[in-house]
Amino acid sequence: MEADRIPAHPDVRTIPLQQILEALVDPVRRSIVTKLHEASDDIRCGAFDLPVSNSTATHHFRILREAGLIRQYYVGTSRMNALRRDEVDEVFPGLVDAIVTADRTFPHPAVR
C-alpha cells in the first residue's frame, strides 16, 4: 500500500522550538532547507548534492522531518521532499527566512 511508505509527519504546532533549532544546527541540514526554499518544485532525495553518504543523508532527512521542517512523500520510487514553510511560519513567523538568509550569508565551506 502506498500510504505505508509515507513516513509520519508531526504537527508543527507540537514541535518545540528547541527541536527545530537543534535540527538546523547541522550545516548539511541547513543546506537541505535552503535548497528546498530556493527550489520551484519539491526535490527527490537523490537530487541533493550532499557531502555525506546515502545513509547519513537519510539520517539528515529524518531529523528534518521529525522536526516538522520537511514533508516527504513518494512519486514512484523516488522519495520527494517539500519544505513545510507555511506551517513553520504559522507557528514561528520568519524563522525559515532567517535561517535561509543566515545560511546564504555564512555558508559552511564543506557543504558548498
pLDDT digit string (tens) for the chain, length 112 residues: 456 678 889 999 999 999 999 999 999 999 999 999 999 999 999 999 999 999 999 999 999 999 999 999 999 999 999 999 999 999 999 999 999 999 999 888 777 6
* Predicted pLDDT at 60: 98
Give the rounded distance of the alpha carbon of 12 from its chain centre: 13
Alpha helices (H) along 1-112: 2-5, 17-23, 27-38, 54-66, 85-91, 95-105
* Predicted pLDDT at 25: 95
